[in-house]
């Protein structure tokens, strides 16, 4: 399974999954249809599935156009998003599995950003190789999504599920927010040498117009303040030693950043 990153809207990423052997493709969170159509034409392949993580328009905006051209496309999304995902045909629960080509993904229920948010984790085909996590707006490179429909406790639980994945897991998040996220991270975890180094690397990447996605779980655990609520530095910044309160206060600071 090849993962192809497509740019959309102002800062979104759509991920096209391509199985060369079977010559089929699937779109993860198609914000708009045109970038997907262009890549499908270039590959001379067809769309068989859409994997949505949540209902926000910048993740489902291309669903209907894609289905019009490929009417047999199966649309997967969380069961609790029923009625909010255009064309949804499969209603997924935590622990369900979905198939694409010869790869099987586990569905992880990660509420917080929205009440029904899910992520898709494709374990590696070969032991020791990296798996692939498609996490929508729950976990970002250097950050996490705003809490719109959930609670800080839900978000901590959801992020804890994701940080429990193997360190070499590739994190395919849906926005190019990394530089701004790391600028904020330095305000609450500025003595973190790994974070300082990552910020310099990301700044250089963005100055060259390069994408910063995918990240990895290991990198996020070392540098992302929203996975580090147990660290004394973050607790000091939040003036709390309670993990959920630490997370909530750091998230509030980011909202105002």
H-helix segments, 70-139: none
The mean per-residue pLDDT over the stretch 112-126 comes to 96
The shares of helix, strand and coil residues in the chain, as percent rounded to the nearest 5, are 35, 25, 40
Q: What is the pLDDT of residues 58-115, one digit of tens each?
A: 999 999 999 999 999 999 999 999 999 999 999 999 999 999 999 999 999 999 999 9
- The answer to whether the beta carbons of residues 188 and 227 sit under 8 Å apart is no
What's the CA gap between 32 and 51, in Å, rounded? Answer: 14
Q: Is 97 annotated as a binding residue?
A: no
β-strand pairing of 215-216 with 170-173: antiparallel
List 99's β-bridge partners, or say none: 104
Say how many Å lie between the first and final Cα of the chain, rounded: 38
How high is the pLDDT of residue 255? 96
How high is the pLDDT of residue 128? 87
Q: Is 59 annotated as a binding residue?
A: yes
Is residue 33 very low, low, confident or very high in pLDDT (cuts 50, 70, 90)? very high
pTM: 0.97
Q: Is the pLDDT of residue 127 over 90?
A: no
What's the CA gap between 244 and 124, in Å, rounded? Answer: 31
How high is the pLDDT of residue 104? 97
- The answer to whether the beta carbons of residues 117 and 111 sit under 8 Å apart is yes
CA contacts within 13 A on the Cβ side of 133: 32
- The answer to whether the beta carbons of residues 223 and 182 sit under 8 Å apart is yes
Q: Is 137 annotated as a binding residue?
A: yes
Q: Is 167 annotated as a binding residue?
A: no
β-strand pairing of 74-78 with 46-51: parallel
Q: Is the pLDDT of residue 55 over 90?
A: yes
Contacts (Cβ under 8 Å, ≥6 apart) of 49: 26, 27, 73, 74, 75, 76, 98, 100
Q: What is the pLDDT of residues 136-167, one digit of tens each?
A: 999 999 999 999 999 999 999 999 999 999 99
Q: Please tell me what DSSP assigns to residue 154.
A: H
What's the CA gap between 157 and 137, in Å, rounded? Answer: 15
The mean per-residue pLDDT over the stretch 7-35 comes to 97
Please give the backbone phi and psi of residue 22, each rounded to the nearest 5 degrees, phi first: -90, -5
What's the CA gap between 43 and 138, in Å, rounded? Answer: 30
Is residue 116 very low, low, confident or very high in pLDDT (cuts 50, 70, 90)? very high
Please give the backbone phi and psi of residue 105, each rounded to the nearest 5 degrees, phi first: -110, 145
**CATH architecture group of domain 2-255:** 4-Layer Sandwich (3.60)
Question: Could you list the active site residues?
Answer: 54, 56, 58-59, 113, 137, 175
The mean per-residue pLDDT over the stretch 172-188 comes to 97
């Amino acid at each position: 399974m090849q993962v192809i990153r497509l740019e959309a809207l102002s800062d979104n990423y759509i991920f096209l999954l391509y199985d060369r052997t079977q010559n089929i493709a699937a779109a993860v969170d198609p914000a708009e249809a045109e970038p997907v159509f262009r890549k499908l034409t270039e590959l001379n392949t067809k769309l068989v599935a859409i994997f949505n993580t949540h209902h926000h328009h910048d993740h489902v905006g291309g669903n209907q156009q894609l289905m019009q051209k490929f009417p047999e496309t199966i649309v997967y999304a969380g069961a609790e998003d029923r009625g909010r995902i255009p064309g949804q045909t499969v209603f997924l629960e935590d622990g369900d599995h979905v198939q694409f080509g010869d790869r099987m993904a586990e569905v992880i229920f990660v509420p917080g950003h929205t009440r029904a948010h899910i992520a898709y984790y494709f374990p590696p085909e070969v032991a020791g190789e990296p798996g692939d996590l498609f996490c929508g707006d729950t976990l970002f490179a250097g950050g996490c999504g705003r809490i719109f429909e959930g609670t800080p406790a839900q978000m901590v639980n959801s992020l804890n599920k994701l940080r429990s994945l193997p360190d070499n897991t590739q994190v395919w998040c849906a926005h190019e927010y990394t530089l701004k996220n790391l600028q904020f991270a330095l305000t609450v975890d500025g003595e973190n040498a790994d974070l300082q180094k990552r910020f310099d690397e990301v700044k250089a990447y963005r100055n060259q117009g390069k994408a910063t996605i995918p990240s990895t779980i290991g990198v996020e655990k070392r540098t992302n303040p929203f996975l580090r609520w147990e660290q004394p530095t973050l607790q000091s910044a939040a003036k709390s030693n309670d993990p959920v309160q630490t997370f909530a206060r750091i998230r509030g600071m980011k909202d105002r950043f």
